[in-house]
Structure 1
Amino acid sequence: MFRPVIVAVLALLVGAPAVAQETRVVPQSAAEAKLSFAPVVKKAAPAVVNVYAQRVEKAPRNPLFDDPIFRRFFGEGQRPGGATARSLGSGVIVDPSGIVVTNNHVIENMTDVKVALADRRELPAEILLRDPRSDLAILRIKGDGGTFPVLEMADSDTIEVGDLALAIGDPFGVGQTVTQGIVSAVARTEIGISDYGFFIQTDAAINPGNSGGALVDIDGRLIGINSAIFSQSGGSVGIGFAIPVNMVKSVVATAKAGGKEVHRPWLGANLQNLSRDLADSLGLDRPTGALVAEVDPNGPAAQGGLKRGDVIVAVDGKEVTDSGSVGYRLGAKPIGGVASLSVRRDGKQAVVPLKLTAAPERPPRDLVKIAGSSPFTGASVVNISPATIEEFSIANGREGVAVIEVEDNTAAAMVGFQKGDIVLSLNGEKVQTTRDLERLAGQRPYVWKLQINRGGQVITSVIGG
């Protein structure tokens, strides 16, 4: 291991016994400052792959190509196909059988995936699982039959700001590249990249194409999956973000078990971040933690005794600074068992047990894609339940039906419907289920009067029929 060797050298230099231990120290000599990261790279790089994904866009077929005379002049091989959309990123092998972790946005909407290994082999891969909420996806390499080099997964809760970190990936498609930096922050939230906004920040250079690649520690262990950068130019400015490996572990475990969807524990409460003024009004010395704004009476939080006005300050002894931190701590845990929530209540400390259960789907989602000729044509909607609220990040409402997708170039897209909109009523009639909306959208009125909830704001619009 690389770190113990450094410690042993330091011990010899200061005349102490050469005992290897997990002590973080700065270089004490020019010789130490010249130490190479090559041993770390040799250990980690073989398990980092390039991910190539593509899909063929469906294009309208010209009826002329069904005419035998037209084909006689232009040939059978000249039939036009759809345009090909491509994506390039990186991935990390985490199991000898060829299981690869990458970002969901690397393979989003793609159908054909290949991986290129460090030894230049190119092999097809199948998509085992897509998890848009964490922006992770799991692949399995096909057609080799052997074992593959893997990266050991560390415990991302043990890393500290200032630790050395290496980013390995394929930026801009130039080939496998290694960059070095430090861990700049360990719990960045409110980045807006995924539903579980809790990231490791690093100044190791990360660029387009690095997505899905490895962030490793000085022992060559995986600590995060590089996912995004903050940049105004498109290139690295030293602010990169990686998904902590502890979140990766839960997604990998689901894929190995044959699951196609990751089920995470349900809190059953709405949380709010603390401002300075809010913290002062609650008698807190600093604005850290997550305020419980609402508790579902049928959820695990209420069953455990969590109350409105409580401030969650830790999950299983791990400090949380805001609502995003709570979501991550719970989202990285498997279903089953009990977590402990440390809360501040009326100026005192309390511990609330939280049963780790999945959100129920009551009522059933009953997904419907609206067809016909209405302002909703092309929109896919679901019934609102604790499960769909969690899965699709539906906020600010439990009545109506939620829009979860809007197809391009449809009436719904032109009207301006957005993912997350909640349809409350149509033509004066309340919309309580997806079938209600399907029925009402099949009418032929002179005008369409609709009411939606968008981000907590109720909007009423009238559209010509």
Structure 2
Amino acid sequence: MQRKVISSRGLLLAAALAALPVAVSPAAAQTPLRQVPETRQEISLSFSGVVKRSAGAVVNVYGARVEKQPRNPFMDDPFFRRFFGDRGFGVPQERVQRSLGSGVVVDASGLVVTNNHVIEGMSEVKVAFADKREVEATILLRDPRTDLAVLKLKSAKDLVAIELADSDKVEIGDLVLAIGNPFGVGQTVTQGIVSALARTQIGVGDAQSFIQTDAAINPGNSGGALVDMQGRVIGINTAIFSRSGGSHGIGFAIPAAMVRVVVESAKSGAKTVRRPWFGARLQALTPDVADGLGLDRPAGSVVAGVVEKGPAAEGGLRRSDVILAVDGVAVDDPESFGYRFATRPLGGTTTLTVLRGGKRVVLPVKLVPAPELRPREAITLGGRSPLAGLTVMNLSPAVAEELALDAGTDGVVVGEVEEGSTAARIGFQKGDIIQALNGERMDTSREVEAALKERRRAWEVTISRGGQSVTSVFPG
């Protein structure tokens, strides 16, 4: 700090000026005077109070899966066995895959929220607290659509749960803290602001509207808490934008409104998240279409198709309508609409603001779960065919909703792909829709199973993935 020296003549002049009357404007009179901080409490600015209220509920999540390596084929030869012995080659070797992330205790009964990708494929999960306690956990619910999972601690004592805030009230510029376990070094707190809201097209799950923050988020922070200045969770940290793998000041968190939906489903004992069913297919509004409709910007979702007798159809929605808002909140694209609609509570009604024929109309849509109009009849396929290792199911609105498939899709859907199977090596994926085998249309899982009983030299398989149909030929 620089010190200024003032002469005695300067002091006399200042005193004389101070005695003169001064005209003060009303605006200046209302401006509060800035004072120099005088005490240690006034000088120090700390987030320690917020951390103390919330950090105890943020945990480390460890996942592990034991994989058996195949037996070394050379050890079947007596020559190799004579010179090298067993040395562990005679039995399948085990390899342990591990995953490390963060989690948040959201209920004192022992419920922990984390990212689905943290515990994906893991058979053993443990939770470690900041005070070094370790507790085993079971997986109650996985939701790949939102990249969230809910764990249940096997022994829950003296737990500190953290409150889920109303993420719809979060504003750009709000101060936030990110709490997690980056790089596995231990619990760490970083500070920043909310940089943006309603970010979509992030590539993590669907039905999302992410909170963007510049608080440092690094590998291992996944599943950790993004908290406000009251120590409440406004989001679950899930992804970063990075070219190097480290934090570049662009992190994304799943809003607490979506977290609450997943947690409530887990509390109800459901194995899947129960969401409202819309019953329509949407497309993004292009600049050309927006200009033709007289809109000043391409914000909204175009209805590309409506399922007969679905909630959208019963609410009066039509093909080519443009959805602009849900319950008065603007939605700029199908992803933000999906998030806003999915976070509405079941059993009520939501209102959609729709542009139709140049006029805005408000339509009510019932919030009901997707029905399972026919049994799933899940069948795991075996034998010598390119589909061996697939678990296939009959399609229904409920199944389509769970797997985030387009409304009105026809065919037989792949529910699971067995690791290491023929189908996995070929490249089949969960959510693929088998439409035809050898030119014959497939409508049920039983039809697929029956068709594969025939021995053939080649199989012609038509599948739909991401709205695109592809036909390939595989050897029998």
Q: Paired residue for 2:131, among 119, 137, 162?
A: 119
Q: CA deviation at 1:143?
A: 2.3
Q: Which residue of 2 aligns with 1:137?
A: 149
- From the superposition, tell whether residues 391 and 33 of structure 1 become closer, same or farther in structure 2 (CA, over 3 Å): farther
Query: 1:41-65 deviations in whole A, cap 9, x for unaligned?
Result: 111111111111112224568999x
Q: CA deviation at 1:88?
A: 0.8
> Contact 1:397–1:453 at 8 Å: present in 2 too?
no
Within 2, Cα distance between the matches of 1:80 and 1:411?
Answer: 21
Query: 1:405-444 deviations in whole A, cap 9, x for unaligned?
Result: 3333322233332333322221232211111111112211
> Contact 1:295–1:307 at 8 Å: present in 2 too?
yes
- Percent identical pairs in the alignment equals 58
> Contact 2:307–2:408 at 8 Å: present in 1 too?
no
Within 2, Cα distance between the matches of 1:140 and 1:399?
Answer: 37
Q: Paired residue for 2:465, among 438, 454, 465?
A: 454
Q: Which residue of 2 aligns with 1:44?
A: 54
> Contact 1:126–1:139 at 8 Å: present in 2 too?
yes
Q: CA deviation at 1:388?
A: 1.6
Q: CA deviation at 1:404?
A: 3.3
- From the superposition, tell whether residues 85 and 30 of structure 1 become closer, same or farther in structure 2 (CA, over 3 Å): farther
> Contact 2:177–2:189 at 8 Å: present in 1 too?
yes
Q: Which residue of 2 aligns with 1:217?
A: 228
Q: Which residue of 2 aligns with 1:95?
A: 107
- From the superposition, tell whether residues 348 and 276 of structure 1 become closer, same or farther in structure 2 (CA, over 3 Å): same
- From the superposition, tell whether residues 395 and 258 of structure 1 become closer, same or farther in structure 2 (CA, over 3 Å): closer
Within 1, Cα distance between the matches of 2:264 and 2:430?
Answer: 29
1:165-204 alignment to 2 at 5 Å? 165-204=176-215
- From the superposition, tell whether residues 464 and 260 of structure 1 become closer, same or farther in structure 2 (CA, over 3 Å): closer
Q: Which residue of 1 aligns with 2:313?
A: 302
1:259-298 alignment to 2 at 5 Å? 259-298=270-309
> Contact 1:397–1:456 at 8 Å: present in 2 too?
no
- From the superposition, tell whether residues 152 and 428 of structure 1 become closer, same or farther in structure 2 (CA, over 3 Å): closer
User: Is residue 54 from structure 1 mapped to residue 49 from structure 2 by the alignment?
Assistant: no
Q: Which residue of 2 aligns with 1:20?
A: none
- From the superposition, tell whether residues 162 and 371 of structure 1 become closer, same or farther in structure 2 (CA, over 3 Å): same
Within 2, Cα distance between the matches of 1:300 and 1:437?
Answer: 31
Query: 1:244-265 deviations in whole A, cap 9, x for unaligned?
Result: 0011111111222222221100
Within 2, Cα distance between the matches of 1:458 and 1:153?
Answer: 42
Within 2, Cα distance between the matches of 1:113 and 1:28?
Answer: 54
Q: CA deviation at 1:165?
A: 1.1
Q: Which residue of 2 aligns with 1:35?
A: 45
> Contact 1:368–1:380 at 8 Å: present in 2 too?
yes
Within 1, Cα distance between the matches of 2:129 and 2:361?
Answer: 51
- From the superposition, tell whether residues 408 and 121 of structure 1 become closer, same or farther in structure 2 (CA, over 3 Å): closer
What secondary structure does 1:186 align onto? Answer: strand
- From the superposition, tell whether residues 421 and 255 of structure 1 become closer, same or farther in structure 2 (CA, over 3 Å): closer
Q: CA deviation at 1:320?
A: 1.0
Tell me how many residue pairs correspond in the alignment. Answer: 435
What secondary structure does 1:82 align onto? Answer: strand
Q: Which residue of 2 aligns with 1:327?
A: 338
Q: Which residue of 2 aligns with 1:68?
A: none
Q: Which residue of 2 aligns with 1:21?
A: none
Q: Which residue of 2 aligns with 1:435?
A: 446
- From the superposition, tell whether residues 257 and 176 of structure 1 become closer, same or farther in structure 2 (CA, over 3 Å): same
> Contact 1:396–1:456 at 8 Å: present in 2 too?
no
Q: What is the CA RMSD across the aligned residues, in angstroms?
A: 2.7
> Contact 2:207–2:337 at 8 Å: present in 1 too?
no
> Contact 1:395–1:420 at 8 Å: present in 2 too?
no
Higher deviation after alignment, 199-208 or 337-346: 337-346
Note the residue ranges of structure 1 that are not aligned, 5 or more in a row: 1-12, 17-26, 65-72
Within 1, Cα distance between the matches of 2:36 and 2:151?
Answer: 45
Q: Which residue of 1 aligns with 2:19?
A: none
Equivalent position amino acid for 1:51 in 2: V
Q: Which residue of 2 aligns with 1:86?
A: 98
What secondary structure does 2:420 align onto? Answer: coil
Within 1, Cα distance between the matches of 2:274 and 2:294?
Answer: 36
1:225-236 alignment to 2 at 5 Å? 225-236=236-247
Within 2, Cα distance between the matches of 1:344 and 1:220?
Answer: 41
Equivalent position amino acid for 1:215 in 2: L
Note the residue ranges of structure 2 that are not aligned, 5 or more in a row: 1-29, 76-84
Higher deviation after alignment, 118-127 or 229-238: 118-127
What secondary structure does 1:157 align onto? Answer: helix
Q: CA deviation at 1:15?
A: 4.8
Within 1, Cα distance between the matches of 2:283 and 2:315?
Answer: 19
Within 1, Cα distance between the matches of 2:395 and 2:115?
Answer: 28
TM-score, length-scaled by structure 2: 0.85
- From the superposition, tell whether residues 75 and 282 of structure 1 become closer, same or farther in structure 2 (CA, over 3 Å): closer
Equivalent position amino acid for 1:247 in 2: M
Within 1, Cα distance between the matches of 2:447 and 2:35?
Answer: 72
Please identify the structure whose Cα radius of gyration is greater: 2
Q: CA deviation at 1:14?
A: 5.5
Within 1, Cα distance between the matches of 2:104 and 2:461?
Answer: 47
